[in-house]
């Protein structure tokens, strides 16, 4: 059992590194702006939490790696469930973002959540 968990962690770390390489600030902003309404508020909220947490100077390299891996997956056109699939297209993205949020929760401060909330307000309204 412990061997399987270790293998899963190693696989996840390897995949995160691959997705981290595809991440750029510009591609993240482009995806969020183009798909904000389609992806929904919850997906975009988690993505923004991670984005702003990565910008914080006290966020360590290991946490940024997890964040950029998750955001890289989010912006990647190659998903477990294609984003163009109606209704469920962003379920896998939300799962990856939620896992990253749980992993780096310490670095998602009240300020990070406030910045994300302000951006969400502008995009989604009340």
Selected residue with higher pLDDT from 75 and 4: 75
Size of the chain, expressed as the number of residues it contains: 126
What three-state secondary structure class fits 7? helix
The pLDDT value given to residue 1: 44
CB 126 within 8 A of CB 86: no
Q: What is the pLDDT of residues 38-88, one digit of tens each?
A: 777 888 899 999 999 999 999 999 999 999 999 988 887 776 666 556 556
pLDDT at 17 over 60: yes
Q: How far is CA 4 from CA 32, 50, 106, 125, in A?
A: 35, 28, 27, 44
Three-class SS string for 35-72?
A: HHHHHCHHHHHHHHHHHHHHHCCCCCHHHHHHHHHHHH
Binning pLDDT at 50, 70 and 90, where does residue 115 land? very high
pLDDT at 93 over 80: yes
């Amino acid at each position: 059992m412990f061997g399987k968990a270790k293998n899963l962690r190693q696989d996840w770390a390897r995949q995160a590194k691959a997705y981290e390489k595809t991440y750029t600030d510009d591609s993240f902003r482009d995806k969020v702006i183009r798909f904000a309404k389609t992806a929904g508020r919850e997906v975009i909220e988690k993505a923004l939490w991670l984005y702003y947490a990565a910008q914080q100077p006290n966020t360590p390299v290991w946490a940024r790696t997890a964040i950029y891996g998750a955001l890289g997956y989010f912006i990647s056109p190659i998903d477990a469930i294609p984003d163009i699939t109606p209704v469920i297209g962003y379920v896998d993205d939300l799962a990856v973002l939620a896992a990253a949020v749980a992993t780096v929760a310490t670095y998602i401060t009240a300020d990070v959540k406030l910045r994300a909330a302000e951006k969400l307000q502008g995009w989604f309204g009340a």
